[in-house]
Amino acid sequence: MIQGVRLVILGRQGAGKGTQCVRLSNHYVVPHISTGDMLRAAVREGTELGRVAGEIMNTGGLLPDEIMVGIVGERLSRPDAERRGFILDGFPRTVGQAESLGAMLSDSPLDLAIDLDVPRELVLERISSRRVCRDCGSNYAASRNEPPTRICDRCGGDVVQRDDDTPEAVNKRLDLYDTQTTPLINFYNAKGLLAVINGVGHPDHVLDRLVAAIDEARDRR
Ligand code: AMP
């Protein structure tokens, strides 16, 4: 069986991180751990964490490091992650979280932190053309000059642009991402753990580049 792996994936919204994390998770047979997904699940379930997280997420802010380190620490201590490894998506978001992660993993450190790089103009274009069905959540890419609403092919619901996918809102999220992530990129680069992978092109080619970089990093260890 293929060896497991321990990865952190960084990348702008719209860089294709979600798609590639699922593929990498299947390839290396390790859990894809997305802190955004975990928090959204807590909000849906109405737990105490969900109540706190919901308020902060609505304002676009970050949850406190102690809470996030607790959640991720618990998840990483489960047998699948302990035995095979993990792909962390959305964590760490701050240098404090990265330091705590390093402390948690002292016996079996990260193989690699990957910056999935897609130029800002391109992700802006991708996200600005994204349309979502209000009823079933299916994603569509709008073509130029398309009318603002259309009907979903799958369920007949209204296909609209999300409120937070307008160019102004997306630009704001991308600014925040750049400010938050630059220190993390520097942190992993200084440790010799960073690989910048070109995320432009067909998803199969992007996956090939990722696997090549990950396998090379593991062979070096
Ligand atoms: P994401 O789906 O990764 O964009 O996360 C959605 C939201 O969840 C973020 O905007 C934050 O409010 C919160 N969140 C997710 N991961 C973290 C983290 N590592 N640290 C703090 N807040 C987080």
- 82-123 per-position pLDDT tens digit: 999 999 999 999 999 999 999 999 888 999 999 999 999 999
* The pLDDT value given to residue 133: 87
| Average pLDDT across the chain, whole number | 92
35 vs 92: CA distance, rounded Å: 9
Q: Which residue has the higher pLDDT, 155 or 1?
A: 155
* The pLDDT value given to residue 132: 86
The closest-lying atom of ligand 1 relative to the alpha carbon of residue 89 is 3
The closest-lying atom of ligand 1 relative to the alpha carbon of residue 60 is 10
- CB of 93 shorter than 6 A to ligand 1: yes
Paired tokens of 8: 């952190």
Query: Which residue lies with its CA nearest to atom 8 of ligand 1?
Result: 36
Pairing relationship of beta strands 5-11 and 85-89 according to DSSP bridges: parallel
Pick the CATH number of 6-117+183-220 from 1.20.210.10, 3.40.50.720, 3.30.429.10, 3.40.50.300: 3.40.50.300
**pLDDT tens, position by position, 172-182:** 888 988 998 99
**pLDDT tens, position by position, 10-44:** 999 889 998 999 999 999 999 999 999 999 999 99
Which of 9, 13, 19, 35 best tests ligand 1's pocket when mutated (most atoms within 8 Å of CB)? 35
Percent of the chain clearing pLDDT 90 (strictly above): 69
